[in-house]
C-alpha cells in the first residue's frame, strides 16, 4: 500500500498524513471523497439482503413525540412487506457486513486498507426515508460515514457527557450538544473518531455506508484468548501432576495448601510463557470470518491462468511466524512465506507467483481454493 501519496478519498491528504493528524483523534469532513458516487447496491438488492436470516439487519422507526417511546427498533430478517412504505418518513434500515457479501462493496473496502486489516470491522449500509436516522449517539469505534445517495444532515459534538437516555431500545444520548453541522451529498464523507457524539438525519431518501472499525476491549480479549488458548494447551504444555510427598498431617483440613496454590500459579505461567501460543490464538481469532459468510467450493475446476485472489468473505492476516486465514493458522518460511504474505497484503497472486510456491504450499493453496477461501483470478 502506497501511504505517502495524496488521495482524493482523504481530501488530498496521504494516508500517512491522515493517520498522523486525524485517525483516532479528530473528525474530518471530506467533500467529494468519491466523486460521482452512486449506490453500489440498488435499494431492492439491499432489501433482499435484509430478508436473509444469516444477515444482521435492524429497522429503526421514529414514532413522534406523542408515542410512548419516540424510538422503535426491530431486528431482522425483514420480509419486504414488513417494512414501512418508502413514502412514510422517519425510518431507517441498517444492514451489516455487506462488504463480505457483495464484491462491489468489498472493492470499496479495499480503499480503506491504509488502516490495518485487523482493525477493519465491516461496511454497514443504511437506507433512510425522509427524516430517518438513528438518533443522537456515539459509537465506540472509528467510522467513515460515506454518503452514497441523497443528502444527510450531520450534527456532531465532542461532548464529555455520554450518558444515555434510559429505557430506549437503542443508544440515544440524554443531552446531545452539537457543535458543528454539515449536509453531506453523494460522494462526501465524514470521518469520526470513537466516542464522538453524532446525529445524522436524512433529507429525502438517502443511503449512507459506514466503514466501521473494531478495537478489542481488554477484558473481552483476555477472556476469549484464555478460552482459545485453553483448547490448545494440551498440545503445547507437558502434563505434570501435583505431588506432595512433603505434606504434613493437616491440623486444619479445609485450608488449601499454599503449595497447591503455587502449583496452580505455575501452571498458568507455563501456559502464558509460550509467546507463540498467544500470538497464534490472537491471529486465529482476529481472522474469524463474519457469521454471514458462507464459502462456496467452486462448481468446476477452473484454470489458474491468471492466478488466485481472496474470496470476498475471507479474512487473511499474518505475523512474523504465522499466516492466519478464516480462523486457522499456518506456518510458512522463506519464499513461501513471502509469497503468502503478498497474497495477504495484496489479496491476489499472479500465476507466475503461484508457480514459484513450493509443492507443499501450492497444495495448501489448492485446498484453500477447494473450500472457496480463494478464487481463481479473472
Ligand atoms: C446511519 O447510517 O444511519 C447511522 C450511522 C451512524 O450514525 O453510525
Ligand atoms: Co454512529
pLDDT tens for 76-115 read 999 999 999 999 999 999 999 999 999 999 999 999 999 9
- Measured from the alpha carbon of residue 94, the closest ligand is 1
pLDDT tens for 172-197 read 999 999 999 999 999 999 999 999 99
Mean pLDDT score, 67-75:
87
- Per-residue confidence (pLDDT) for residue 239, from 0 to 100: 86
Which residue intervals of the chain bear CATH 2.60.120.650?
8-213
Closest C-alpha residue for ligand 1 atom 2: 126
Chain centroid, CA 294 distance in Å: 17
Window from 189-193, 233-237, 263-267 with minimum mean pLDDT: 233-237
Distance 135 CA to ligand 1 centre (A): 9
To test the pocket of ligand 1, the residue of 71, 194, 200 to mutate (highest count of ligand atoms within 8 Å of its CB) is 200
pLDDT tens for 20-70 read 999 999 999 999 999 999 999 999 999 999 999 999 999 999 987 666 778
pLDDT tens for 209-229 read 999 999 999 999 999 999 999
- Per-residue confidence (pLDDT) for residue 194, from 0 to 100: 97
Beta bridge partners of 107: none
Which residue intervals of the chain bear CATH 3.40.366.30?
304-376
- Per-residue confidence (pLDDT) for residue 356, from 0 to 100: 96
Q: Which residue has the higher pLDDT, 69 or 75?
A: 75
* Percentage, residues of the chain above pLDDT 70: 98
Do the Cβ atoms of 177 and 159 come closer than 8 Å? yes
Residue 240, φ and ψ in degrees, nearest 5: -145, 130
pLDDT tens for 276-325 read 999 999 999 999 999 889 998 887 766 677 899 999 999 999 999 999 99
- Per-residue confidence (pLDDT) for residue 64, from 0 to 100: 74
On the question of pLDDT at 146 being above 80, the answer is: yes
pLDDT tens for 335-371 read 999 999 999 999 999 999 999 999 999 999 999 999 9
Q: What is the pTM of this model?
A: 0.93
Class of CATH domain 8-213: mainly beta
- Per-residue confidence (pLDDT) for residue 302, from 0 to 100: 66
Residue 376, φ and ψ in degrees, nearest 5: -65, 140
Count the neighbouring beta carbons within 10 Å of the beta carbon of residue 268.
10
Do the Cβ atoms of 315 and 326 come closer than 8 Å? yes
Ligand 1 neighbours, Cβ below 6 Å, are 92, 126, 133-134, 139, 143, 198, 200, 208, 210
On the question of pLDDT at 236 being above 90, the answer is: no
End-to-end distance of the chain based on CA atoms, in angstroms?
22
Count the neighbouring beta carbons within 10 Å of the beta carbon of residue 256.
8
The CA distances from residue 376 to 25, 83, 107, 300, 302, in Å, are 40, 39, 17, 11, 7
Q: Which residue has the higher pLDDT, 140 or 234?
A: 140
Class of CATH domain 304-376: alpha beta
CA gap 45, 93 in Å, rounded: 13
Largest CA distance in the chain: 83
- Per-residue confidence (pLDDT) for residue 121, from 0 to 100: 95
To test the pocket of ligand 1, the residue of 71, 123, 124, 214 to mutate (highest count of ligand atoms within 8 Å of its CB) is 124
- Which of 269, 272, 289 shows the shortest CA–CA distance to 281? 272
CA gap 364, 358 in Å, rounded: 10
To test the pocket of ligand 1, the residue of 133, 173, 182 to mutate (highest count of ligand atoms within 8 Å of its CB) is 133
Distance 45 CA to ligand 2 centre (A): 23
- Per-residue confidence (pLDDT) for residue 232, from 0 to 100: 87
On the question of pLDDT at 265 being above 70, the answer is: yes
Amino acid at each position: 500500500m502506497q501511504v505517502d501519496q495524496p488521495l482524493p478519498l482523504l481530501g488530498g491528504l496521504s494516508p500517512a498524513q491522515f493517520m498522523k493528524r486525524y485517525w483516532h483523534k479528530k473528525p474530518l469532513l471530506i467533500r467529494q471523497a468519491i466523486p460521482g458516487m452512486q449506490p453500489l447496491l440498488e435499494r431492492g438488492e439491499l432489501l433482499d439482503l435484509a430478508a436473509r436470516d444469516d444477515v444482521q439487519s435492524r429497522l429503526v422507526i421514529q414514532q413522534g413525540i406523542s408515542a410512548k417511546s419516540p424510538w422503535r427498533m426491530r431486528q431482522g430478517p425483514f420480509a419486504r412487506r414488513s417494512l414501512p412504505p418508502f413514502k412514510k418518513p422517519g425510518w431507517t434500515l441498517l444492514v451489516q457486513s455487506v462488504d463480505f457479501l457483495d464484491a462491489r462493496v468489498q472493492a470499496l473496502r479495499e480503499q480503506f486498507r491504509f488502516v490495518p486489516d485487523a482493525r477493519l470491522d465491516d461496511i454497514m449500509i443504511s437506507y433512510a426515508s425522509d427524516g430517518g436516522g438513528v438518533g443522537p449517539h456515539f459509537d465506540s469505534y472509528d467510522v467513515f460515514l460515506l454518503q452514497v445517495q441523497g443528502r444527510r444532515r450531520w450534527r456532531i459534538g465532542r461532548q464529555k457527557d455520554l450518558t444515555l437516555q434510559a429505557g430506549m431500545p437503542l443508544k440515544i444520548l440524554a443531552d446531545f450538544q452539537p457543535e458543528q453541522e454539515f449536509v453531506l451529498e453523494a460522494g462526501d464523507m465524514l470521518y469520526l473518531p470513537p466516542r464522538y457524539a453524532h446525529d445524522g438525519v436524512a433529507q429525502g431518501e438517502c443511503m449512507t455506508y459506514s466503514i466501521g472499525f473494531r478495537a478489542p476491549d481488554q477484558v473481552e480479549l483476555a477472556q476469549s484468548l484464555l478460552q482459545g488458548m485453553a483448547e490448545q494447551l494440551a498440545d503445547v504444555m507437558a502434563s505434570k501432576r501435583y505431588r506432595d510427598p512433603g505434606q504434613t498431617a493437616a491440623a486444619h483440613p479445609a485450608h488449601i495448601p499454599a503449595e497447591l496454590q503455587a502449583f496452580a500459579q505455575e501452571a498458568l505461567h507455563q501456559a502464558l510463557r509460550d509467546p507463540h501460543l498467544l500470538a497464534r490464538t490472537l491471529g486465529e481469532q482476529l481472522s474469524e470470518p463474519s457469521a454471514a459468510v458462507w464459502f462456496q467450493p467452486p462448481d468446476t475446476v477452473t484454470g489458474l491462468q491468471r492466478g488466485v485472489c481472496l474470496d470476498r468473505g475471507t479474512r487473511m492476516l499474518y505475523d512474523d511466524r504465522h499466516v492466519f486465514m478464516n480462523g486457522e493458522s499456518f506456518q510458512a518460511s522463506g519464499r513461501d512465506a513471502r509469497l503468502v504474505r503478498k497474497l495477504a497484503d495484496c489479496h491476489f497472486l499472479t500465476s507466475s507467483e503461484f508457480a514459484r510456491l513450493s509443492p507443499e504450499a501450492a497444495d495448501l493453496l489448492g485446498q484453500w481454493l477447494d473450500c472457496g477461501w480463494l478464487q481463481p483470478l479473472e
